[in-house]
A and B are shown apart, each in its own frame.
Chain A
Amino acid sequence: MPSLINAEDLSIGYGRDVVVAGVSFELIPGEAFALIGTNGSGKSTLLKTVVGLLPPLDGRLAVFDGRPGADHRRIAYLGQFHQSGFVLPIRAVDVVRMGRFPGLGLWRPMTRHDNDAVREAMRTMGIEALAETPLRSMSGGQQQRTYLAQVLAHQADLLVLDEPTSGLDAGGRELYLQAIDAELRRGASVLVATHDIQEEAALCHRVMLLARRVVAVGPPAQVLTPETLLATFGVVITGDRKLHVIEGRHGHEGPGKPPG
């Protein structure tokens, strides 16, 4: 089976500052892969490198057997921050429609199929009633649902999501998990950066623990152990048979400054 992402001994970072070195992994169609780590651990840097926003600093990275960022029609990306703020006059439906732009390019007009995909994505995230609502008058959680609907509307082969559940309420998280499940059954692959070890990462086929180095890679049941989590996050208490993570010491022993 051809892999969607193939990274071999990859170094990622900003400019000359290497954030993580020696990253090797593969993502196959229909697979969900989670990146777990604290802020500054290299999760976002890896995602940005995969979608072509940052150049790989060393090693080999192929996405759809080509250069990262070359095949924008097949890849959907949800960044952590949106710069539009509260100035941009735009309705929720306009944001979701942008998810169809990669396939349409400059010229091709929206077809019925495109509009159906937009409506379906909004229904999936439970915001169809808010279609005409200006983005700036939505709550943070509603905005996050809108951004997720934009990613779903793309109907991409690979979804790259940076902390997609941030700001979502319990209902929103449930809809998100269902949506990802549907995307995987459709044959899409998901690469997601998350803090959520209990739910989101546990549902993924494989996880990678990052702390400015690769701590461990493998199925969640094998990889999410108190020892690896300690190395990733700092302090772990396992009193009530659940894993609790207290963000203390970050894994900043790598070279260079932590970004952000």
Chain B
Amino acid sequence: MIDWLVMPFADSTIMQHALIAGTLVSIACAVAGTFVVLRGLAFIGDALAHGVLPGIAIAVLAGFSGILGAAIGAAVMIGGITLITQRSRLSSDTAIGLLFVGMLALGVVIVSRSGSFSGDLTRILFGEILGISVTAIVIQIVATIVILAIAAICARPFLLLSFDPEQAQVAGFSVRLYHNVMLLMIALTVIVSFQTVGTLLVFGLLMAPASAGALLARRIGAMMAWAALFGVLSVFAGLLISYHFDLAAGAAIILVTIVLFFAAFAIQNLRDRRAAQRKEPGGA
């Protein structure tokens, strides 16, 4: 049993790199994902995760860094959403939806110019967790530190924003400024994580562990800790499953996060039901 759990990682540096990178992505996604869930930014998170596709596609074709391409894609996405929301009467989810499909289609059109169309597309969408370089890990470490630092510095405004944006404004924390800082943090998470789990699946790691954490935690800090734990567990279990059963690693990781979410959901429901039963005999 121990062999089954440990040997895949002891044997190969590919698996070790995958585990390290996956752990770092999980921590970054736990912090950013917590605010995505609390502020109801799921749609913009999803749009960012996919909006980076054309940038990465261009980078793949032109041969420059995928991270740079993703950053350009995210910047265009956020800029476009802000422009449409401010200059028209359309709501932000309409703007997000329009840009979301537009960028996705643009990405596929660009990739279709490449010789290895389906290979490139799969790589961008599902990541290359079994091909992580040391450089990529170093970049991921730096990014994770930056994300943690942003969350620590902005702890008070982010808490107020999640509680009530009007309270944040009256308390002297600019809603526009800190909302944009939060978007920047989410974008940074998406940009550096796509290499590991892909643009399609980074969204899963952003949402599922944080949602599970929201069900179990009583404080935002605890929610992040639960999310990180669920994320790391998913990476570990997903890699093992993919190794032993020869399955796609990125997708296996995401499936585990979803299973863990439903497990947390079941636990929370049982807990609530028991609490209700305890209350009933003596009357509420």
Q: Which chain B residues lie closer than 8 Å to A53 at the CB level?
A: 166, 169-170
Question: Which residue of the partner chain B has the closest CB to A102?
Answer: B171
Residue B84 at the chain A interface, CB threshold 8 Å = no
Question: Which residue of the partner chain A has the closest CB to B216?
Answer: A89
Q: In the bound complex, do residue A79 and residue B166 qualify as a contact, i.e. CB atoms below 8 Å apart?
A: yes
The one of B167, B173, B217 in contact with A79, judged by C-beta atoms closer than 8 angstroms, is B167
Given A88-B38, A88-B162, check contact A98 B223 (CB 8 Å): no
Interface residues on A, range: 20 to 34
Query: How far apart are the CA atoms of A84 and B158 in the complex, in Å?
Result: 12
Q: Which chain B residues lie closer than 8 Å to A105 at the CB level?
A: 156, 172
CB within 8 Å of A: which B145-172 residues: 153-154, 156-157, 159-160, 162-167, 169-172
Q: In the bound complex, do residue A89 and residue B169 qualify as a contact, i.e. CB atoms below 8 Å apart?
A: no
Q: In the bound complex, do residue A52 and residue B170 qualify as a contact, i.e. CB atoms below 8 Å apart?
A: yes
Main secondary structure, interface of B, reads helix
Q: In the bound complex, do residue A134 and residue B218 qualify as a contact, i.e. CB atoms below 8 Å apart?
A: yes
The one of A72, A84, A132 in contact with B172, judged by C-beta atoms closer than 8 angstroms, is A72
> Which of B37, B163, B217, B222 counts the most A-chain CB atoms under 10 A from its CB?
B163
CB within 8 Å of B: which A73-90 residues: 73, 75-77, 79, 82-84, 87-90
The one of A48, A95, A134 in contact with B163, judged by C-beta atoms closer than 8 angstroms, is A95
Residue B143 at the chain A interface, CB threshold 8 Å = no
Query: How far apart are the CA atoms of A138 and B256 in the complex, in Å?
Result: 33
Given A89-B222, A134-B218, check contact A102 B37 (CB 8 Å): no
Query: How far apart are the CA atoms of A256 and B154 in the complex, in Å?
Result: 39
Residue B56 at the chain A interface, CB threshold 8 Å = no
Given A95-B163, A101-B171, A102-B172, check contact A89 B217 (CB 8 Å): yes
Q: What 1/0 flags go to A87-99 for Cβ under 8 Å of B?
A: 1111100110010
The one of B38, B160, B166, B214 in contact with A98, judged by C-beta atoms closer than 8 angstroms, is B160
Q: What 1/0 flags go to B221-237 for Cβ under 8 Å of A?
A: 01100000000000000
Q: Which chain B residues lie closer than 8 Å to A132 at the CB level?
A: 218
Q: Which chain A residues lie closer than 8 Å to B223 at the CB level?
A: 89
Q: What 1/0 flags go to A20-53 for Cβ under 8 Å of B?
A: 0000000000000000000000000000100111
Q: In the bound complex, do residue A77 and residue B167 qualify as a contact, i.e. CB atoms below 8 Å apart?
A: yes
Residue B219 at the chain A interface, CB threshold 8 Å = yes
Query: How far apart are the CA atoms of A102 and B157 in the complex, in Å?
Result: 10
Query: How far apart are the CA atoms of A51 and B167 in the complex, in Å?
Result: 10
Q: In the bound complex, do residue A98 and residue B171 qualify as a contact, i.e. CB atoms below 8 Å apart?
A: yes
Residue B220 at the chain A interface, CB threshold 8 Å = yes
Given A72-B170, A87-B38, A88-B163, check contact A101 B156 (CB 8 Å): yes
Q: Which chain B residues lie closer than 8 Å to A52 at the CB level?
A: 169-170
Residue A13 at the chain B interface, CB threshold 8 Å = no
Q: In the bound complex, do residue A90 and residue B169 qualify as a contact, i.e. CB atoms below 8 Å apart?
A: no
Q: Which chain A residues lie closer than 8 Å to B218 at the CB level?
A: 89-91, 132, 134
Q: In the bound complex, do residue B170 and residue A73 qualify as a contact, i.e. CB atoms below 8 Å apart?
A: no
Residue A237 at the chain B interface, CB threshold 8 Å = no
Q: Which chain A residues lie closer than 8 Å to B172 at the CB level?
A: 72-73, 102, 105
Closest chain A CB from B169 CB (angstroms): 6
Query: How far apart are the CA atoms of A51 and B168 in the complex, in Å?
Result: 12
Q: Could you list some 25 contacts between A and B, CB below 8 A?
A: A51-B170, A53-B169, A72-B170, A75-B170, A76-B170, A77-B166, A77-B167, A79-B166, A84-B162, A84-B164, A88-B38, A89-B213, A89-B218, A90-B218, A90-B219, A91-B219, A98-B167, A101-B171, A101-B173, A104-B156, A105-B156, A105-B172, A106-B154, A106-B156, A134-B218
A90-B159, A91-B219, A105-B172 known; 15 new pairs, CB 8 Å cut-off, are A53-B169, A69-B169, A69-B170, A73-B172, A77-B170, A83-B163, A83-B164, A83-B165, A84-B164, A88-B38, A88-B162, A89-B217, A90-B218, A98-B159, A101-B173
Q: Interface of A with B (CB < 8 Å)?
A: 48, 51-53, 69, 72-73, 75-77, 79, 82-84, 87-91, 94-95, 98, 101-102, 104-106, 132, 134
